């Protein structure tokens, strides 16, 4: 039994961008947990994280999971490895923190759902943006009825620069890798599941992304079960930083969360007003959400509550992403 007085060891599988970030967050901001072991076939990546967090470097996934003190497995590997990681962590009786998306197809997600149910595993899906303090305020205003029946949701989600093409190839592409956050955000702030998706997309940023079989610019419209309509716009490249805006418009008013700047200074002269640039990328813009996510995870685990984002919520976001891919392929809206 994990309690708040009893720090729990985390095995981090995958020490790339997000594995490093979770290790840093756990080491510096989350007193209830520590990084106990790490595994990455790129041994240099594993060593860097181990040195920063005081963890041991394991020579296999299983050794990391079985290392002394480990109660939680954090899955930060490329998405096509998540299912094998989930199987091993569940078999070992550990709690699981699995990065989004759970997998790249619904069959694999359903296999994961079965394993989680059969073993009674506490598994949380890392759709971290729900824990962003500003987006969470918007969702809370909707939940409390402050803005009344939801009519419209608008989400702008643009990255400062695309990831390497090799990453794009194995990530599942724009809808499953990047827009999946926005599909989940739409469901979160509207309080209602998505029932229809229509996607238009193109390659406007980098022809290499098109050659890798993906798109980099998209507009997606969706209908929710409660009748609300959502519009999402995505780009893999915004020259001015990470552009993240959410607005919910309803019968009694609207709620929105705006971009975050590096600082709030504004310099005004007779030629105009100059503001600081936006936070550069997800590591900076969403840092607090990663901290809050771990705190929510540990609180739920210690009090034997359901995980903050259970596997069926992760499954729902993936289904919307797959439907968006189908819509793009066929040119037609897709009912879920």
Contacts with ligand NAD, residue ranges (CB under 6 A): 13-19, 39-42, 45, 61, 76-79, 81, 99-100, 126, 128, 167, 171, 177, 282
The residue behind tokens 């197809």 is: 105
Residue 184 or 223 with smaller CB distance to ligand NAD:
184
Shortest Å, Cβ 163 to ligand NAD? 7
**Nearest-angstrom CA–CA distance, 103 and 86:** 10
Give the phi and the psi of residue 332 in degrees, each rounded to 5. -120, 155
Shortest Å, Cβ 255 to ligand NAD? 23
Give the phi and the psi of residue 292 in degrees, each rounded to 5. -60, -35
Shortest Å, Cβ 126 to ligand NAD? 5
Residue 150 or 168 with smaller CB distance to ligand NAD:
168
Asked if 34 and 27 count as a contact pair (C-beta separation under 8 A), the reply is: yes
Residue 192 or 293 with smaller CB distance to ligand NAD:
293
Q: Residue 73: exposed, middle, or buried by beta-carbon count in 10 A (0-12, 13-18, 19+)?
A: buried
Residue 29 or 81 with smaller CB distance to ligand NAD:
81
**Nearest-angstrom CA–CA distance, 181 and 321:** 10
Residue 83 or 228 with smaller CB distance to ligand NAD:
83
Cα dihedral across residues 168, 169, 173, 177: positive or negative: negative
Shortest Å, Cβ 44 to ligand NAD? 9
Shortest Å, Cβ 269 to ligand NAD? 38
Residue 159 falls in which region: left (phi positive, over 0), alpha (psi -120 to 50) or beta: beta
DSSP label of 207? H
Residue number closest to ligand NAD, CB atom: 16
């Amino acid at each position: 039994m994990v309690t708040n007085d009893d720090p729990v060891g985390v095995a981090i599988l995958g020490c790339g961008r997000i594995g490093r970030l979770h290790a840093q967050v756990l080491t510096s901001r989350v007193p209830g947990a520590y990084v106990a072991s790490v595994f990455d076939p790129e041994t240099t990546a594993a060593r860097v994280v181990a040195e920063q967090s005081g963890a041991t470097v394991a020579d296999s996934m299983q050794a990391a999971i079985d290392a002394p003190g480990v109660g939680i497995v954090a899955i930060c590997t490329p998405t096509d490895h998540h299912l094998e990681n989930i199987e091993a962590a569940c078999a070992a009786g550990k709690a699981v923190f699995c990065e989004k998306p759970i997998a790249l197809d619904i069959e694999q997600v359903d296999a994961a759902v079965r394993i989680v149910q059969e073993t009674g595993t506490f598994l949380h899906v890392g759709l971290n943006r729900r824990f962003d303090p500003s987006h969470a305020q918007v969702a809370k205003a909707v939940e409390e009825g402050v803005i009344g029946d939801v009519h419209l949701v608008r989400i702008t989600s643009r990255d400062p620069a695309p990831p390497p093409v090799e990453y794009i190839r194995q990530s599942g592409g724009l809808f499953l890798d990047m827009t999946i956050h926005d599909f989940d955000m739409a469901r979160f702030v509207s309080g209602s599941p998505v029932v229809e998706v229509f996607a238009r997309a193109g390659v406007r940023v980098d022809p290499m992304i098109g050659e890798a079989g993906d798109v980099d610019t998209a507009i997606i419209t969706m209908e929710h079960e409660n009748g609300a309509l959502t519009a999402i716009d995505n780009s893999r490249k915004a020259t001015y930083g990470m552009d993240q805006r959410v607005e919910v418009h309803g019968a009694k008013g609207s709620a929105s969360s705006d971009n975050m700047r590096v600082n709030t200074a504004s310099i005004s002269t007779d030629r105009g007003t100059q503001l600081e640039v936006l936070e550069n990328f997800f590591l900076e813009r969403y840092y607090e959400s990663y901290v809050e996510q771990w705190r929510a995870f540990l609180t739920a685990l210690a009090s034997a509550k359901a995980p903050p984002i259970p596997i069926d919520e992760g499954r729902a976001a993936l289904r919307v992403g797959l439907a968006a891919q189908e819509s793009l392929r066929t040119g037609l809206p897709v009912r879920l």
